[in-house]
Structure 1
Amino acid sequence: MSVRTVAIALALTVVSAGLASAQTPNRIQQFKAWGAYSYKSGASTVCYVLSVPTTKEPASVDHGDIFFIVSQRPGQNISYEPQAMMGYTMQANSKVTVTIDNKNFTMFTKDKAAWVENAAEEPALVAAMKTGHNMTVNAVSGRGTKTTYAYNLQGVSAALKQVESCK
């Protein structure tokens, strides 16, 4: 993961969390394809793991910067919240599908981000990420372009373990 990509991802994460008082995030450690990060937000610490796709389809379009994030925000009572971040605004009222080894999870969209539609399924998605081999994310851009992103799940378990004790 390039330094530029990580810097953009960190900035987007802070912005998407709506934390104007947040400090610059720092990388805790890199675990193969997944990095563990943290930043201060007021008196709380926010931790998360992040990765970028290994492939972006269709290859002929500019996707912008794409990330998949799992956040840990103990100060807000949020534990392991998956989020897809796109480099473009997604089609209004569209859904994002995350597929891990033939198991599908549906996300709702708002602008450039997507979250698990049924919050009760968040732990199942994170568990599937830990044990899975392949993860793809399918979305539709505001222009109607169907996109697909493949992610490498190597290192996600270790990265999540690293942010497990986020305080």
Structure 2
Amino acid sequence: MHQSDKKIFNLFYLILVFGACVLALGWFPNLVLASGIKAENTFGGWSVHVMGKKKQKVCYIHGKPKKSSGNYTIRGDSYLQVVHRPKNKVRNEVSITAGYTFKKGTNVTVKISDQTFKLFTDGETAWSKTASNDASIVAAMRAGTKMIVTGRSTRGTLTKDHYSLAGFTAANRSIDKACGYNN
């Protein structure tokens, strides 16, 4: 291949790659919209999302702490979600993602007013062991004003995430309605 042919080939390749990038960026927003995930509303610090249609519908609330404390250098996003999956008969499933890996064998403590709940951990996430415990946590969140989530990382760092519960009740009612639960 001659030197001039290499330049033409390199230019053609550059144009091809650039064109593919432009096409991909142009299609990306449409792919996100086509996924079916949409933020229905926001109530205080709690956003409501609905995915899927009819029997495949999943509705969830997503909230982030207002304040986090702990002696850590690097930490990812922490958040709490409450999920409805009617097809699987799941209602008010609570999960907490810490933004770090929990120390193996430790529990997360959730304190709302004078009530304390323990959740088991696996990786970066904590869950209740039973649906009735999930229901109790959600009832306390609906009645409370603030919540403190305490966990321990694999390095032994104790963290506390402080959540405002302002707007949680309205958000929970919103996913109840969106997923066909009547209260």
Unpaired segments of 5 or more residues in structure 1? 1-22
- The 8 Å contact of residues 39 and 46 in structure 1, kept in 2 or not, is answered as yes
Amino acid at match of 2:175: V
Distance, in Å, in 1 between the alignment partners of 2:72 and 2:123 is: 22
Distance, in Å, in 1 between the alignment partners of 2:118 and 2:64 is: 19
User: What is residue 28 of structure 1 aligned with on the other side?
Assistant: 40
Post-superposition offset of 1:143? 1.1
Distance, in Å, in 2 between the alignment partners of 1:94 and 1:41 is: 37
Post-superposition offset of 1:63? 2.3
Post-superposition offset of 1:59? 6.0
Q: 1:30 to 1:132 in 2, by over 3 A?
A: same
User: What is residue 63 of structure 1 aligned with on the other side?
Assistant: 75
Q: Deviations over 1:70-109 (max 9, x none)?
A: 0011011100011101211111111000000121000000
User: Which structure is higher in helix share?
Assistant: 2
User: What is residue 154 of structure 1 aligned with on the other side?
Assistant: 166
- The 8 Å contact of residues 25 and 39 in structure 1, kept in 2 or not, is answered as yes
Distance, in Å, in 2 between the alignment partners of 1:82 and 1:129 is: 11
Amino acid at match of 1:123: A
- The 8 Å contact of residues 56 and 63 in structure 1, kept in 2 or not, is answered as no
User: What is residue 122 of structure 1 aligned with on the other side?
Assistant: 134
Identity of aligned residues (%): 30
Q: Equivalent residue of 1:138, what SS? A: strand
In terms of Rg, which structure is larger? 2
Q: 1:76 to 1:154 in 2, by over 3 A?
A: same
- Higher mean C-alpha displacement, 60-69 vs 29-38: 60-69
Post-superposition offset of 1:24? 5.4
User: Which structure is higher in strand share?
Assistant: 1
Unpaired segments of 5 or more residues in structure 2? 1-34
Q: Equivalent residue of 1:105, what SS? A: strand
Pairing 1:91–2:91 present: no
The TM-score, its normalising length taken from structure 2, stands at 0.74
- The 8 Å contact of residues 33 and 155 in structure 1, kept in 2 or not, is answered as yes
- The 8 Å contact of residues 55 and 86 in structure 2, kept in 1 or not, is answered as no
Q: Deviations over 1:25-44 (max 9, x none)?
A: 21110011111011128950
